[in-house]
C-alpha cells in the first residue's frame, strides 16, 4: 500500500488500537453509484453504512437531476481555507485498475494496494474524467472512489485540522456508520464535528461548528431526543432539501417550495442569535446577557435606562432570566414567516428493504404547518415527523402511501 493510500485509509477507517476493518464491513461499503430502476434519479443503497456518502450525493441529484456532476463541482470548490470558497490548484481523482476489480473479489488490503491517483487541473477536465469512467462509478467501488477523491482534493491535513477528535476515523471500523464530520464534509465542504452555528468554547477548547448558510440542510432525530442542537445554518439552507439523520441511517426530505428557505426574517435571526447565548437550549438566558443579545441584533441597548426597563418587563418576577418567547413577542411581534399552510413534500430512503414493495422510490405527501398544535389535525407520531418537528414544531404529514416512510 502506497504512503498516500495509507494516509487515506488511516483517516477513513483506522482507530488507534483497533484490529482493522472486517471483511463484512468493507464489503458493505464496496458498492457503486447505482440508480433505481423505478425512480431514475434515486440512488440505491445495498447495505447499511455508505448512506453517509450516498445521501449527500442524492441531495444534488434531486436539486439538479440532469446535472449530478454539479455535486462534484460544489464539493471540489472548497479550498483548504475553511472560510474560503476558491478552487484548489489541483483536483485529485482516485481510480483503480479496472481489470483487476472485474477479475477478483478484492479484499481491503488488495483494493487499497492497487488504487491509482490522477491529477486534473480544471473542472472541465474533471467532468471529462468523470464521464469517461462512468462504468467505474457504477461498478463495485464507486462510493469509495468518490469519497477518496473528495478527501484528496480537500487535503488530508486540512481535514484533520477540522476534525475535533483526530483519533476517530470518518467511518466507524466496528459498525460501519459514517461520522458527522464525514457528513459535514460532503454537505458543507468542511469536516467539522458539530452541527451548531459558529464556534464554541468548552473548557478552554474551541469546538468548530457551521459558519455559513449551507446549500442543503441537515436535521436529526437526535435533536428531538435532546442529544444535540442543529443550528440555523443547517436548518435553513438555500434550497428546500434536508438530509434526515436517525440513530443509524440517513435519508432525504425535500420540497419544491422555495419560500421554505426564504431569506432569514428578523424574528428568525433574533431566535438564532438568542440561542447562541443559550447553548444548552434551555429556552432562556440570564438577564445579565440581555444587553449583549440586544447589541448583537442592533436593538436599542442603552444600559442605564432601556435595557434595565426591558429586564423588568421581560422578567417581572425578578427570577434573573429572560425567556425566548416573551423576548420575540416584545421585539418581533406578529411576523409572518411566509410559509404556506400546506405544501407537497417528498421523502427518499435508499435502502430497498425500507421502501414499500422494496422499490426505491420517492414517497410523496402533504405537509401542514400549523401555528399551534391543533387536536383536530393530528397525524401519526413517526420518527420522520419527530425529526421534522425540530424545524417546524407543529408540522403534520399526510403521505400518499398506506404507510409512512421510514427514517431507518
Please indicate whether residue 51 is annotated as part of the active site. Answer: yes
Q: Pairing between strand 217-220 and 241-245?
A: parallel
DSSP letters, 227-294, are S----HHHHS-SSSEEEEE-SS-EEEEEES-GGGGPSPPHHHHHHHHHHHT-TT--SEEEGGGHHHHH
**Which of 51, 190, 208, 387 is flagged as catalytic?**
51
Whole-angstrom Cα distance, residue 398 to residue 368? 8
Please indicate whether residue 249 is annotated as part of the active site. Answer: yes
DSSP letters, 185-227, are HHHHS---S--SBS-EEETTEEE--B-S--SSEEEEHHHHTTS
**Which of 112, 177, 208, 249 is flagged as catalytic?**
249
DSSP letters, 50-119, are THHHHHHHHHHHHHSTT-THHHHHHHHT--SSTT--PPPS-EEEEEE-HHHHHHS---HHHHHHSEEEEE
Just list the catalytic residues. 51, 249
Amino acid at each position: 500500500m502506497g504512503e498516500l493510500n495509507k494516509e487515506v485509509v488511516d483517516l477513513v477507517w483506522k482507530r488507534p488500537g483497533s484490529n482493522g476493518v472486517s471483511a463484512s464491513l468493507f464489503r458493505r461499503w464496496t458498492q457503486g453509484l447505482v440508480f433505481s430502476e423505478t425512480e431514475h434519479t434515486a440512488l440505491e443503497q445495498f447495505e447499511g453504512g455508505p448512506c453517509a456518502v450516498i445521501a449527500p450525493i442524492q441531495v444534488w441529484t434531486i436539486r439538479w437531476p440532469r446535472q449530478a456532476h454539479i455535486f462534484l463541482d460544489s464539493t471540489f470548490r472548497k479550498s483548504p481555507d475553511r472560510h474560503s470558497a476558491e478552487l484548489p490548484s489541483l483536483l485529485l481523482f482516485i481510480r483503480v485498475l479496472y481489470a483487476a476489480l472485474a477479475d477478483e473479489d478484492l479484499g481491503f488490503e488488495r483494493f487499497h494496494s492497487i488504487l491509482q491517483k490522477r491529477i486534473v487541473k480544471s473542472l472541465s477536465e474533471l467532468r471529462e474524467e468523470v464521464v469517461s469512467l462512468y462504468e467505474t462509478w457504477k461498478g463495485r467501488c464507486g462510493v469509495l472512489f468518490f469519497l477518496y477523491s473528495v478527501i484528496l482534493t480537500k487535503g488530508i491535513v486540512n481535514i484533520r485540522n477540522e476534525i475535533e477528535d483526530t483519533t476517530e476515523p470518518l467511518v466507524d471500523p466496528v459498525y460501519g456508520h459514517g461520522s458527522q464530520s464525514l457528513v459535514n464534509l460532503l454537505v458543507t465542504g468542511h469536516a467539522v464535528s458539530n452541527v451548531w452555528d459558529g464556534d464554541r468554547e468548552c473548557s478552554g477548547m474551541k469546538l468548530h461548528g457551521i459558519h455559513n448558510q449551507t446549500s442543503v440542510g441537515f436535521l436529526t432525530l437526535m435533536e428531538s431526543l435532546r442529544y444535540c442542537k442543529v443550528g440555523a445554518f443547517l436548518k435553513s439552507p438555500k434550497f428546500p432539501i434536508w438530509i434526515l439523520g436517525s440513530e443509524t441511517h440517513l435519508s432525504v426530505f425535500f420540497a419544491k417550495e422555495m419560500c421554505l428557505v426564504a431569506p432569514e426574517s428578523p424574528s428568525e435571526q433574533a431566535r438564532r442569535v438568542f440561542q447562541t447565548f443559550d447553548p444548552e437550549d434551555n429556552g432562556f438566558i440570564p438577564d445579565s446577557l440581555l444587553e449583549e443579545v440586544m447589541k448583537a441584533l442592533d436593538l436599542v441597548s442603552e444600559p442605564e435606562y432601556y435595557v434595565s426597563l426591558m429586564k423588568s418587563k421581560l422578567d417581572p418576577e425578578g427570577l434573573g432570566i429572560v425567556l425566548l418567547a416573551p423576548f420575540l413577542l416584545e421585539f418581533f411581534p406578529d411576523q409572518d414567516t411566509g410559509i404556506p399552510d400546506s405544501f407537497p413534500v417528498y421523502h427518499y430512503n435508499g435502502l430497498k428493504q425500507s421502501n414499500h414493495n422494496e422499490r426505491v422510490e420517492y414517497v410523496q405527501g402533504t405537509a401542514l404547518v400549523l401555528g399551534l398544535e391543533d387536536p383536530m389535525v393530528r397525524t401519526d407520531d413517526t420518527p420522520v415527523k419527530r425529526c421534522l418537528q425540530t424545524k417546524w414544531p407543529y408540522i403534520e404529514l399526510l403521505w400518499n402511501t398506506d404507510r409512512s416512510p421510514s427514517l431507518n
